[in-house]
Structure formats: C-alpha cells, structure tokens
Chains A and B, each alone.
Chain A
Amino acid sequence: MNMLTGYIEQTEGEIVIDGYNMLKKPKKAKKEIGYMPEGVPLYTDLTVKEFVTYMAEIKGVDRKLRKEKVQKIIEKTGLNDVQKKLIKNLSRGYKQRVGMAGALVGEPKILILDEPTVGLDPKQITEIRNLIKELGKTHTVILSSHILSEVSQICNKVIIINKGKLVAIDTPENLENKVSNNNSIYVTVEDTENKMKDIKEKIKEIKKLELVEENEDGTKQYMIESKDGVDLRKILFTELAKENITIFEMKKADSTLEDAFMKIIEGGNK
C-alpha cells in the first residue's frame, strides 16, 4: 500500500499507475492517486476548509477552479456544517470524512483507503460505508480492511495477500462459494422423546446428523448434512412434524468471507 502511493520506494518489481511508472514519473502517477493513510493523519491546527484547500494546493488543482472544487468535495463528504471548525475539535467520524475529502480532492482516478472504518461507532461506520459505495461509482476504490463483513458488503473484488504473496483474487461471492458447504442445515427442535436419532434412518438423503448443542430451555440444535444437491428443508419439515418433533428454528448454513479467508490462508501456510 505504501509503495503503491509512492510513500516508500519498491525494492523490486514495477509500479505502473494509469500508464505512469511510479519511479520515473512520480508526479504524474501520484496525481492519479488519492490516499487516506491508516489512522487518518491530519493537520489538526487547521480548519476543515483550510485543510481541504491545502490538499488541493499541494495536488496542484488549478487556482481558478480551486474554490469551487473544494466546496464541492466538502459537500460531497457531508462536511458542510463543520467546514469552519478546527480539525482537532471534530469527532472521529468527521475526521475520517475530512481524510476522505483530502484524498478525493484533485479528482484522482484511484482512491486508496487504508482501514477507513477503524474506531468508529456503528452509525458512523454505515455512513462511511455508504460514502465509499457512492464513491465507487465514479472512482476506482482500493480498500484495505480487516473487517471482512465490510469487505463483502462494499467490494466487488477481493485480493487476499498472505505474507507478501498474493493468494487469492476474486469476487467476494466466488470466494464464499468456493468454501461453502451449502448442504448443511441447522435445526433447533424440541425433542422430548429423543426421536431425532431415528430420523437419520427415516430420511435417506441425510448424510450426517450431529448434535451441536443443548439449550437451557430443553431444545437441541442439530447440524444435518445432506447428500449433494438435495435441499432437505421441505422433507425435514414434514417428517419431523410426523414424529411430533417441534421445529423452533431451521436455517441453512451460510459461509462467510471469513471462512473463505481462513481456508485460503491456512491452505497457503501448509
């Protein structure tokens, strides 16, 4: 990330940004990038407007258009109400927005955001995510994050890098599907007569039946795995009703990006 933005020089390989080599034409390459570093460093002595204007100046935005563009970006990032406040007096969420505004100014084609939602409360997180989604329509946004649910929510391509090596590059859906076990179902039942064990013999499609946990209210949760390509839910519903077992809850096991991530990383380490 640091190398992409030209903060550190690479030791090997080549960085080409929109056709410009980072080492040979750093000025042009850097102009195409808007970078919000981790931890969002800002000049806290300046007001929001001054900061965004300063960023516009050092990015070489044309003098005549500067005022207008700065105002546009302040409005886009929802900073209109606080633009005259000192940055040090702002809340974390607003600071994040200011950082974003600083990255956005100068209309870079690529936005690089390093952990944009760390340390925010849930409301601020959704706000920032919506902002990123909005920006994704007009810019290429590269986002680094440890929160994988966030990644699967807003990104349409995921790159997993393990110990400096690229291990996976795909859409989040594909990654999830790769590791998913769509054939398992979790059911929570009230089973006073302990008939669940026999169910396995009754329904041929069941491959595996396993008790996951016994809840305090006497219900039990089972994990049922079916043979390939069979949706057991309908059959289970009718069969369990016949056996006088009451179903409290039934859900398909969903695999998340976390599972995919763990599997890929573990696979890479072996």
Chain B
Amino acid sequence: MFAVIKKELKTYFYSPVGYVFIGLFLIMFSIFFYIDVFQYSSTNFEYIFYSGATILTFITPILTMRSIAEERKNGTEQLLLTSPLSITKVVIGKFIAATIIVIITEICTFLYFGILCFFGKPHITTALVTLLGFLLLAISYISFGILASSITENQIIAGVITIGFFILTWFLPQFSDIFTNFSLINMFSKFPSGQIDIADTVTYITFTILCLLLTVIVMQRRKSVR
C-alpha cells in the first residue's frame, strides 16, 4: 500500500497535477482572503473556508479524475491487478495519496493565519476545527472522485461526473428540505464556528468509506464480468 502512495505522490509532483491543484487553490483562496480581510476588514480566518469549500468543489476532480481512469486506459491496471497487491490496497493507496495533497494545501493556508496575526487575534482552536472540517469535506469529495474515475475510462467524463454530483448535492436543498442532510458542502457550515458536529463528522466518514467500498466493488466486478 505504501508503494502505491509513494508512486501516486511521485506522479502528482512529476506531472503538473499536484502543482496545479495546490496553486489554483491558493490563488483563489488569496483572492477571497483579500476580499474578506481588506474589503470587509474582518480578521476572521475561519470564514474564508466557506469560500474554500466552494473552490474545493470545483477543483477536486483535478486530483481524482485520472487516478483509476488513466490506469485503465494505459493498461497499467493490468500490472496492478496481476501483482500480489489486493484491489482494496490499491484504492486506499490512491485515496491516501490524494488526501496528502489536500493536507499539504491546508498547511500552506497557515501562511494566511500568520498574516492575520499581525492585524488581530485569530483563534487557533477554531482554525484547527475548521481545517479538520475542511479535511473531512475533502476526503468525502476525493473518495467520490475516485469512484467516478473507476467507472469510466475517460478522465474528462470522470471529472464532469464528479463536479456534476457535487453541484447537485449543493443545490438540491434549495428544492426540498429533505436533501439538506445529504448536502456535503452544507454539512461543512458548522465547522468554521468552532463546533465539531458528530452527525456531520460521521456522515463524512461513512460517505468516504461507502465510496471507497463501491470503488473496490466496481473494480472487482469488472474483473469477473467481462
């Protein structure tokens, strides 16, 4: 499994993908930071992450769309499936590698926390809780992205499915209240105020496990039905 994580991280940084993801996130984050801090003169670090969640919704596919789709297209999937490695380990390896990229991005955002320290007194605990919530949102996004990547051979389609699903869960609550509890991005809203909501945390984690499990099943099934 560590071999897969190592190799995935390597490819993230040998190809532009890793840099594009981190760079794009930080550029957008900077813009929202500027608007929040200088336009509204607030020294609140946490509230920028509402915008951060929006950015994440659109750029997660950059990380995940190629993970399995590309392997299948190039045929390198054969190398993995004929090795003694189990499918579960491959999927979890890919998932952890993408999560590490998100963690690196989160560490980069501490730069803004440092800047804010010059202007006011931001709370470190609420900031950490926000980052935890952001990470939970990210892992559920990534796991769905990997699932989308496993069902198609085409990276673009995987990416579009991913974004489409996220936008759907984002806007569905506007049509009916029933969907509020299913909206991934809405569940994030409590974290920036410093609360860790158990229900939300559990939902994120179970959603992640569900998606990863489905990915394993999709790959396993493709192996036996052809």
B86 neighbours in A (Cβ, 8 Å): 26-27
**20 A-B pairs (CB sep. < 8 Å):** A5-B82, A6-B81, A6-B82, A8-B223, A30-B82, A31-B84, A35-B79, A41-B75, A42-B74, A42-B76, A43-B76, A44-B74, A46-B7, A46-B14, A54-B6, A57-B7, A58-B80, A59-B83, A59-B84, A60-B84
Seen from chain B, the residues whose Cβ lies within 8 Å of a Cβ on chain A are: 2-4, 6-7, 10-11, 14-15, 74-86, 223-224, 226
The answer to whether A45 touches B15 (Cβ under 8 A) is: yes
B11 & A45 in contact (Cβ 8 Å cutoff): yes
**Which parts of A35-93 form the interface with B (CB within 8 Å)?**
35, 37, 39, 41-46, 50, 54-55, 57-60
**Residue tally, chain A, CB below 8 Å to B:** 29
What are the 8 closest A-B residue pairs judged by CB atoms, nearest first? A57-B3, A41-B75, A9-B224, A5-B82, A37-B78, A41-B76, A58-B83, A30-B84
Residues on B with beta carbons closer than 8 Å to the beta carbon of A116: none
Distance between Cα atoms of A226 and B79 in the complex (Å): 55
Q: With A7-B82, A30-B82 in contact, do A58 and B3 touch (Cβ < 8 Å)?
A: yes
One of B15, B74, B82 near A33 (C-beta < 8 A): B82
Cβ of A172 within 8 Å of any chain B Cβ, yes or no, is no
Q: Of all chain A residues, which has the CB nearest B85?
A: A58
| Known contacts A9-B223, A54-B7, A58-B3; is-contact A27 B76 (Cβ 8 Å) | no
Neighbouring B residues of A50 by C-beta, 8 Å: 7, 10
A160 to B72, CA, bound (A): 29
Contacts A37-B75, A50-B7, A57-B7 supplied; 13 other A-B pairs, CB < 8 Å: A2-B78, A8-B223, A8-B224, A27-B84, A30-B84, A31-B84, A37-B82, A46-B11, A55-B79, A58-B3, A58-B80, A58-B85, A59-B83
CB <8 Å contact, A46 and B82: no
* Chain A residues with CB below 8 A from B6, complex form: 54, 57
B residues within 8 A CB of A42? 74, 76
Q: Mark A102-145, 1 if CB is under 8 A from B, else 0.
A: 10000000000000000000000000000000000000000000
**Could you count the A-B residue pairs with CB atoms below 8 Å apart for me: how many are there?**
74
Contact with B along A22-35 (1 / 0, CB 8 A): 00001110110101
- A58: chain B residues at CB < 8 Å are 3-4, 79-80, 83-85
| Contacting residues, chain A, for B226 (C-beta < 8 A) | 8
Q: A188 to chain B: closest CB distance in Å?
A: 49
Q: Please report the C-alpha to C-alpha distance between residue A28 and residue B83 in the assembled complex, in whole angstroms.
A: 10
**A30 in complex: contacting residue of B2, B76, B83, B223, CB < 8 Å:** B83
A17 to B32, CA, bound (A): 59
Most A CB contacts (10 A, CB to CB) among B6, B74, B78, B80 go to B78
**A-side contacts of B82, CB under 8 Å:** 5-7, 30, 33, 35, 37
Given contacts A7-B81, A31-B84, A46-B14, contact A41 B223 (CB under 8 A): no
Q: Are A43 and B85 in contact (CB under 8 A)?
A: no
Nearest opposing residue in chain A for B11, CB measure: A45
Residue of A nearest to B224 (CB): A9
Beyond A7-B223, A27-B84, is A102–B11 a contact (Cβ under 8 Å)?
A: no
Q: Mark A132-167, 1 if CB is under 8 A from B, else 0.
A: 000000000000000000000000000000000000
Nearest neighbor of A27 in chain B, beta-carbon distance: B84
Bound complex: CA A54 to CA B80 (Å): 11
Task: For the complex, give the distance between the alpha carbons of A7 and B79 in Å.
Answer: 9
Are B78 and A35 within 8 A (Cβ)? yes
- B84 close to A7 (CB less than 8 A): no
List A contacts of B85 (CB < 8 A). 58
Q: How far is the CA of A52 from the CA of B182 in the complex (A)?
A: 44
